[in-house]
């Protein structure tokens, strides 16, 4: 096997994906069967400088080079080969944010990441102007807010892009974005699969009184869809990526994508009527739509798949943090009692116990709001547990209510899609920490959404693997082969997964719990106002 892999590496029958996440940069090299054959990662943290969450250009390149080098060292160690050729490369990164450059290619202001909630006025104005939800973290909101703030650098902008677009540009010279990434910069026209021209005209008209020397189309990157060529690694790019100078120039690159799109690819949920849900510290669900929504909802963001199909996204800030704190308390209790319980066993036991609770959690109520929650309109949060004197208070219901409430805000967002908009969903793919205990997170999620929930063994591979698959698709697809077909037939055909279908009694129990959850928001409001 390793001889075959070695030959694939030497002959460039591989694909490399590098993703810049918010805490880790990861490089994954995949072989001919799309399985990872080498990887390397680099930990990094954003800095809070002058009230801005940012990463410096120096940190970006240090991280990219380090993760590449560790992956190349992994290749050398495992297969005895120096990495010089790769079949194709793809870059992805956390979406949105703001990177603006002058005509000399210099960064005009420090990179503003998606974490900066400083564009409320711009977000509101643009949402009304376009009649299209423009979240605060979107690149266009950052640009317009900079104009509203009369920031001096705005007149000097020659090019505006995202983190993934920036890295790609420096390595290839090409100012491009994949459509999924671009959909978090500015709204996409689903017919042309590029930025919405009508809205571009509206924006240009809006800023005309500012007499800026550019129009939006002059400074935006070109939009490409999955499978299209996005340039090749230049001589300078090869030296920038591989500081040892071993990597050869001329390698083709796929369009740079966002972490939302690579997550969809890594979970094989890019086809219409499918979706994926990532549940950990926060939780978000993405559903590929068959048609546009009937109206604008502040709770629902719209982006696209890497092929340009519309995706609705419901995102909740709070998921498992409060739940983990309670498990930590039980861990502390067991130690005080002289028992040393393995954490995996503790989680497994408590989570499985939750499945034995009453369908509606026996009348208990909790909110795991460690921070604010935009779906329910809270600027800050207070974790809260409350029960009536006649509720069925036992450990199974206690664990169940904390698992239910972890998905409470998400369910309100998803109900807009599944009930109000009657969006059809055949299955949703789950990944993230909530699904670690086999079958439990899936059963709770299936009850919340009333949809079958599957978890794949490869779901943990993440976005770096997802962008490597997009790079592989670009050079290996058959003529007219869609990304959906390529993933289903070439990548996931043998994939073992476990599916849990919703139980009618649990679905009814979750609905009953949600009545209590919605009514009880007044208690959460009172806690925020009266408890510091």
Per-residue pLDDT band for 319 (boundaries 50, 70, 90) equals very high
Query: pLDDT at position 201, please?
Result: 98
Query: pLDDT at position 142, please?
Result: 98
Query: pLDDT at position 349, please?
Result: 97
Q: Provide φ and ψ at 243, rounded to 5°.
A: -70, -15
Does 357 fall in a domain? yes
Q: What is the DSSP string of 22-80?
A: SSEEEEEEE-TTS-EEEEEEEE---EEETTEEE--HHHHHHHHHHHHHHHHHHHHHHHS
Per-residue pLDDT band for 374 (boundaries 50, 70, 90) equals confident
> How many domains does the chain contain in total?
1
Does 344 fall in a domain? yes
Query: pLDDT at position 122, please?
Result: 98
Residue 282 has pLDDT above 90, yes or no: no
> Percentages helix, strand, coil for the chain, rounded to the nearest 5?
45, 20, 35
Q: How far apart are CA 108 and CA 241, in angstroms?
A: 23
Of 431, 383, 135, 399, the closest CA to residue 283 belongs to: 431
Model pLDDT for residues 386-444, shown as the tens digit of each residue: 999 999 999 999 999 999 999 999 999 999 999 999 999 999 999 888 888 989 999 99
Q: How far apart are CA 92 and CA 184, in angstroms?
A: 13
Does 192 fall in a domain? no
Query: pLDDT at position 106, please?
Result: 98
Q: How far apart are CA 186 and CA 213, in angstroms?
A: 20
Cα-based torsion angle of the residue sequence 413, 418, 419, 421 in order, rounded to the nearest 10 degrees:
90
C-alpha separations of 495 from 271, 436, 490 in Å: 17, 18, 10
C-alpha separations of 233 from 52, 243, 264, 316, 489 in Å: 32, 14, 26, 38, 29
3-class secondary-structure state, position 378? strand
Query: pLDDT at position 108, please?
Result: 98
Query: pLDDT at position 459, please?
Result: 57
Q: What range does the domain containing 525 cover? A: 321-406+505-530
3-class secondary-structure state, position 415? helix
Write down the mean pLDDT value for the chain.
95
Does 343 fall in a domain? yes
Q: What number is the average pLDDT over the span 86-110?
A: 97
Q: Which regions of 393-465 does DSSP assign to beta strands (E)?
A: 427-431, 453-456
Does 188 fall in a domain? no
Residue 25 has pLDDT above 70, yes or no: yes
Model pLDDT for residues 180-211, shown as the tens digit of each residue: 999 999 999 999 999 999 999 999 999 999 99
Model pLDDT for residues 461-505, shown as the tens digit of each residue: 688 999 999 999 999 999 999 999 999 999 998 776 889 999 999
Does 396 fall in a domain? yes
Does 333 fall in a domain? yes
Query: pLDDT at position 234, please?
Result: 98
Q: How far apart are CA 464 and CA 480, in angstroms?
A: 25
Model pLDDT for residues 335-354, shown as the tens digit of each residue: 999 999 999 999 999 999 99
Residue 109 has pLDDT above 70, yes or no: yes
C-alpha separations of 315 from 101, 203, 321, 378 in Å: 31, 27, 15, 14
Does 279 fall in a domain? no
């Amino acid at each position: 096997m390793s001889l075959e892999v070695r030959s694939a590496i030497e002959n460039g029958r591989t694909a490399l994906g590098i993703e810049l996440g918010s805490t880790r940069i990861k490089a994954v090299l995949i072989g001919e069967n799309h399985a990872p054959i080498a990887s390397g990662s680099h930990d990094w943290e954003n800095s809070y400088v002058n009230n801005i969450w940012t990463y410096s250009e120096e940190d970006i390149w240090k991280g990219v080079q380090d993760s590449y080098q560790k992956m190349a060292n992994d290749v050398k160690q495992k297969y005895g080969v120096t990495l010089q050729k790769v079949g194709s490369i793809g870059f992805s990164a956390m979406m949105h944010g703001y990177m603006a450059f002058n005509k000399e290619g210099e960064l005009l202001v420090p990179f503003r990441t998606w974490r900066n909630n400083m564009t409320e006025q711009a977000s509101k104005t643009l949402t009304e102007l376009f009649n299209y939800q423009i979240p605060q973290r979107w690149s266009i909101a950052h640009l317009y807010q900079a104009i509203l703030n009369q920031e001096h650098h705005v007149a000097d902008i020659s090019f505006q892009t995202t983190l993934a677009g920036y890295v790609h540009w420096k390595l290839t010279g090409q100012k491009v974005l994949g459509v999924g990434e671009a959909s978090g910069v500015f709204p996409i026209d689903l017919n042309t699969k590029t930025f919405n021209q009508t809205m571009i005209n509206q924006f240009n008209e809006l800023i005309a009184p500012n007499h800026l020397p550019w129009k939006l189309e002059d400074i935006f990157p070109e939009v490409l869809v999955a499978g299209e060529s996005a340039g090749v690694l230049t001589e300078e790019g090869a030296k920038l990526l591989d500081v040892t100078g071993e990597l050869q120039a001329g390698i083709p690159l796929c369009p740079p994508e966002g972490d939302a799109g690579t997550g969809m690819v890594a979970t094989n949920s890019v086809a219409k009527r499918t979706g994926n849900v990532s549940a950990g510290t926060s939780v978000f669900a993405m559903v590929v739509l068959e048609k546009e929504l009937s109206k604008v909802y502040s709770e629902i963001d719209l982006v696209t798949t890497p092929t340009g199909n519309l995706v609705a996204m419901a995102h909740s800030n709070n998921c498992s943090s409060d739940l983990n704190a309670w498990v930590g308390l039980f861990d502390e209790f067991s130690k005080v009692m002289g028992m040393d319980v393995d954490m995996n066993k503790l989680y497994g036991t408590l989570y499985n116990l939750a499945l034995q609770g009453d369908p509606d959690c026996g009348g208990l109520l909790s909110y795991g709001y460690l921070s604010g929650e935009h779906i329910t309109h809270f600027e800050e949060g207070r974790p809260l547990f409350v029960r009536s004197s006649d509720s069925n208070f036992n450990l199974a219901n206690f664990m169940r209510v904390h698992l239910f409430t972890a998905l409470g805000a998400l369910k309100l967002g998803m109900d807009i899609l599944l009930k109000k908009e009657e969006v059809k969903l055949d299955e949703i793919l789950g990944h993230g920490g909530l699904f670690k205990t086999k079958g439990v997170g899936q059963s709770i999620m299936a009850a919340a959404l009333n949809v079958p929930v599957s978890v794949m063994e490869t779901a943990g591979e993440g976005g770096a693997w997802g962008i490597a698959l997009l790079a592989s698709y670009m050079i290996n697809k058959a003529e007219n082969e869609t990304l959906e077909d390529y993933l289903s037939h070439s990548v996931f055909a043998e994939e073992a997964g476990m599916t849990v279908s919703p139980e009618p009694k649990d679905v009814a129990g979750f609905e009953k719990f949600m009545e209590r959850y919605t009514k009880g928001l007044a208690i959460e409001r009172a806690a925020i106002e009266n408890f510091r």
